[in-house]
Chains A and B, each alone.
Chain A
């Protein structure tokens, strides 16, 4: 289990695999982002995106799922305060296969003795290795409990 003390600035971890289906793109969009270019192939073709694309928030949610499956079981974390610099760089389309990489950017010691913040830059890549999304998450890590406590 990685605690705050175990995290090293510059460490990079590659993880996850997420197959993006048309059905899931449309289902997410129907619930949360019902814009024509996320819902309807015909309308999407006529849009500036030239075809159906996933909601950017859906891509963020798929990243979170990859983080939950691969990173959180190994990390003493308790959620995040939020994120900075989220960029949707390229469209995510049906049939894309996404993966992720996370890089430790900064460790921020606060006042609390039991936890501290780590800035983690995560990038979502498609099957061609293109970065489709990036962001810097503000993750709360627990501090390693003192021996004997």
Chain B
């Protein structure tokens, strides 16, 4: 429902996870080399922004599973901002707010636009994104006259 807020779960991110993700997908020295990162503008190792997106996705999938939500993919993300660095040992919590819902005209699915935030253990918003998730429509019960 529009206006609905939910906390989706938390994840503590380790240095090993930051390094493993970055070495595969985002090998820039401030993500892959603690020593080089210390000398960089960031003053220490920081997680790839794409890693933070990936963790937001996992927390969202886990929350959907707990709630038996019939999410079925996404056409895209309107906007995403990496506002503060994510560092080893940070605990990230995902929070979502439903902005808008509308049905598909051609398929038995509906769309939900949500504002998602990732917060660190200090309550700072490290990432904010507005994206769309597709959900399957509830099947009409047999005998409901549809």
Contact = CB atoms under 8 A, between A and B. Distances in A.
Bound pair (A, B): yes
B49 A55 contact: no
The 5 closest A-B pairs by CB, nearest first: A82-B81, A32-B54, A61-B25, A87-B76, A86-B77
Interface string A62-82: 101100100010000011111
B2 interface: no
Interface of B: 24-28, 30, 41, 48-50, 53-55, 57-58, 61, 71-82, 107, 109, 127, 131
Nearest to B80: A82
Which of B26, B55, B131: most chain A CB closer than 10 A? B26
Nearest to B130: A84
A31 interface: yes
The secondary structure that dominates the A interface is mixed
Interface of A: 28, 31-35, 37, 47-49, 55-57, 60-62, 64-65, 68, 72, 78-88, 135
B61 A35 contact: yes
Given A35-B61, A65-B26, 6 more contacts: A32-B55, A57-B57, A64-B48, A65-B24, A85-B76, A135-B77
